[in-house]
Structure 1
Amino acid sequence: MEKLKVLVLSSDKTIRYKIKELLDAGDIVIVGYSDVSPIAAQKAQGLLPDVALICYESPSTFEIAQRIYQSVQGCAIVLISEKLNLELAKEALNSGIRLLTSFEEGATAVLDTVRRAGALEQLRPGAKEASPGKTRVISIYSGKGGTGKTTLAVNLAAALAKQGKKAALIDLNLDYACAALYLDIQAKDTIAELAQERANLTMDVLRGFTVQHYSGLTVLAGPNTPDSGEYVEGRHVESILSVMRPFFDCIFIDLPANFTDSTITALENSNQIYIVMQPDLASVRAAHLATTVLTSLQLREKVVYVYNKESKAFLSLKDVERVLGTKPQFILTRDDKLADRSMCIGRPIVLEEPRSLLGRQLKAMAAEVFEK
């Protein structure tokens, strides 16, 4: 049974966590978070949730709800507040909000309201029609260095760009970014400079901070120096993704190992989270620990395991399955020579050696991005 996809709108992080706990159910998955602001409509258009759960913050909340109702087909709007009153209910109905609930009603009532809203929305004419141009946001994560995380991110993004997809890569390694190095490109302006930009963020503004790779890939590079990464916060990541979604088919995010505010924001706003590991105990243990953290954040449903550098001479797949409790969805062969050469010359494997075994595996993996 397909899970009910919910987008949570609240500008208060405490409220977000409170809602996350209320929606802890097997048939519901939170696909993202947004502030209650005009940018929320863009995020909803990119994520295409079944239900947008909006926390009442001010009278402008109704305007945001109306924008989402009018622009996102098949998305039910539910308003949640501390307490409900008749005036709030009247305003809500005039804004396209289907149902209302409150925190004081408790988890059972909130869950029931969200489920009913999703079910009722499916009865609305045209609600089940396919929505074109659904953007996929994929975060690539590893709790241990040297697993091939950046190599994977660069190759998946380049493979789809080469196929004609509108693909983007965001390097969120704020201390030691190297995606640009792997692509042999130089970025004068990076995500650090973008975070300091005072102008209202639009795609035109954002493009001024990106670099175009010859494959067609759009790259938002990581900071050129470790100290400048401190300017990048979770709110910047959220705004960047909201602006980019309508303009790209897929967005890949190369993440650092530490769970910072910006990392968690990226994870929460991703469709899938690829956890990369290689055949050694430290790497597999790191993947297991990362899964524990993601489970606590209610993001376990997004996890996809990638077993990189597979070799019979090292840790067996059965050992990995025992630790993770499941088989990795993707298995990539070990080819250190090809991977090292690709990195040194700044050309992705899928472009330099597309017919190699590893090149074919990476291209096949990229092709599945839109099938999940």
Structure 2
Amino acid sequence: MHNPRLGADVVAAEQVQDVAVTTDGKVRFTLLLDASDDATLVREARLAVEGVEGVSDVRIDVTDPAEFAAGRDARRGAQRAAHTHGHTHGHTHAAPAAAPRGPARALPVMDAAPARPATPAAPTPVAYPHLGKIIAVSSGKGGVGKSTVAVNLAAALAKQGARVGIMDADIYGPNLPLMLGVNEAPPVRDNMIQPLMAFGVKVMSIGFLIERDQPAIWRGPIVMKVINQFLKDVAWGELDYLLVDMPPGTGDAQLSLVQATHVHGAIVVTTPQAVAVGDALRGVRMFERTGVPVLGIVENMSYLENPETGKPIAVFGSGGGQQLADEVQVPLLGQVPLDPRVVEGGDTGRPIVVAAPQTGAARALTSLAERVAERVAERYGVPAGR
């Protein structure tokens, strides 16, 4: 398998390490993926090994080369220390085979430690005018329905006539393939990845490039690489909105996105409980400190409609979303009720705004899309949809 960056095979370039094979055909190895490498190398490596006769299962651990080298050096140092300790206490050991000697390296001595490497400057964000307004959909914690809100918001904006794309930046838990009912390797034409289509929305996810059960054990540089590739190497065409489904919390993906491009706004999703609101507040502050305007708060799972009376039942308490909006001085964009059909739509790949548009939850999400378009128009003076 060829690595274009190195101009060599990944095995010859020593990117494949720690290969282990069992008698029943299970293969596990480490793939050293640099931040400048194409993330699709992981999928290509898996397909290459699966094509070998007798292989029944493949597991790939993706690791940054610098981190792997540091861990290897630490292990070797520990082994040398243990060997020396054994000799000091009079133990007898078989002499190890002599290893080839490399170039002599000077050892640091007291008051002559190696100079600390310079901290690299933060990358300059790149503008992508053809992507329209880039809006991050985020949450302070998992389990609040952030991806559900994101996919329904995208589908609702598309129904209103806007040109919409949605990018899955939840590298560690990509859910868009399931929730939008599309999951296949995207085609590549003229060196550009072609996004898949669902309900009038252009979709790109890391889930299209790795296997469903493949864990993304990736550090910040790899996350930055994937997000940059999704912004510049995907043939999005001309968009009005690019929604970015962020992972929960305030980690590498959020920082990578704001360093990669100009984010025009953020929507923070919470539920009414105090613990969720507290986590969402940290998410709001993160965007404020990185210069991203928060367009508003969405309170998901706000209430359950009593099937007999139609009155709302506050299953998870009430007022949390409004309290957060008041505290950070942004609008409460919408309150989405609990509805089993929302979950069913996510599991079957049909967002509720498409599958059951007359339900209370779908109407709330459609109204949310209208409010988001209005907020963008107020701030940037652009048409609120087409």
TM-score range, shorter chain: 0.5 to 0.7
Out of 216, 220, 223, the residue aligned to residue 233 of structure 1 is: 223
Q: Which position in structure 1 is the counterpart of 2:355?
A: 352
Q: Please tell me the root mean square deviation across aligned C-alpha atoms, in Å.
A: 3.1
**Cα shift at 1:347:** 0.4
- Match of 1:212? 197
Contact kept, 8 Å, 1:139 with 1:267, in 2: the verdict is no
For the 8 Å contact 2:155–2:201, the answer to whether it is kept is yes
Q: 1:362 to 1:240 in 2, by over 3 A?
A: same
Aligned to 1:23: none
Any residues of structure 2 matched to 1:81-100 within 5 Å, and which? none
Contiguous gaps of at least 5 residues in structure 2: 1-117, 304-312, 377-386
The count of residues paired between Structure 1 and Structure 2 equals: 238
Residue matched to 1:100: none
Deviation at 1:16, TM superposition (A): 5.1
Residue pair 1:161, 1:217 contacting (<8 A) in 2 also: yes
* 2:9 corresponds to: none
Cα deviations by residue, 1:198-250 (Å, 9 ceiling, x for unpaired): xxxxx853343x2122x221110223322375684325424543566762121
- 275 and 281 in structure 1: CA distance in 2 versus 1, 3 angstrom threshold: same
Q: Residues 146-172 of structure 1, C-alpha deviation per residue, up to 9 Å, x if partnerless?
A: 111001111111122234432111111
Mapped contact 1:139–1:252 kept (Cα < 8 A): yes
CA deviation after TM superposition for structure 1 residue 297, in Å: 2.2
2-structure distance, mates of 1:338, 1:274: 23
CA shift, 1:309, in A, is 1.5
Cα deviation for residue 321 of structure 1 reads: 1.3
Indicate the residue corresponding to 2:340 in structure 1.
337
Structure 1 length-normalised TM = 0.56
The 5 A counterparts of 1:287-302 are 287-299=280-292, 301-302=293-294
Q: 1:262 to 1:146 in 2, by over 3 A?
A: closer
For the pair shown, the structure with the greater C-alpha radius of gyration is 2
Distance 1:240 1:319, change over 3 A: closer
Q: Secondary structure at the match of 1:347?
A: coil
Q: Say whether the 8 Å CA contact 1:159–1:366 is kept in structure 2.
A: yes
Identity of aligned residues (%): 23
Matched, 1:154 2:170: no
1:362 aligns with 2:351: no
Shift >3 Å, 4+ stretches: 12-17, 203-208, 228-233, 242-246, 258-262, 322-328
What residue in structure 2 maps to residue 69 of structure 1?
none
**Distance in 1 (alpha carbons) for counterparts of 2:138 and 2:321:** 21
> Which residue of structure 2 aligns with residue 135 of structure 1?
132
| TM-score, normalization by structure 2 | 0.54
More helix per residue:
1
Moved more, 157-166 or 282-291: 157-166
Does 1:248 pair with 2:222?
Answer: no
Secondary structure in structure 2 of the residue aligned to 1:331: strand
**Structure 1 residues 205, 218: CA separation in 2 closer, same or farther (over 3 Å shift)?**
farther
Kindly state the Cα deviation for residue 349 of structure 1 after the two structures are TM-superposed: 0.7
Alignment of 1:1-372 (within 5 A): 33-34=124-125, 40=126, 43=127, 45-46=129-130, 135-189=132-186, 204-208=190-194, 210-213=195-198, 215-223=199-207, 224=210, 225-227=214-216, 232-238=222-228, 240-242=230-232, 247-267=238-258, 269-299=262-292, 301-311=293-303, 313=314, 314-317=316-319, 320-321=322-323, 324-326=327-329, 328-371=331-374, 372=376
Given the superposition, is the C-alpha separation of residues 179 and 229 from structure 1 closer, same or farther in structure 2, using an over 3 Å criterion?
A: farther
1:339 Cα shift?
1.2
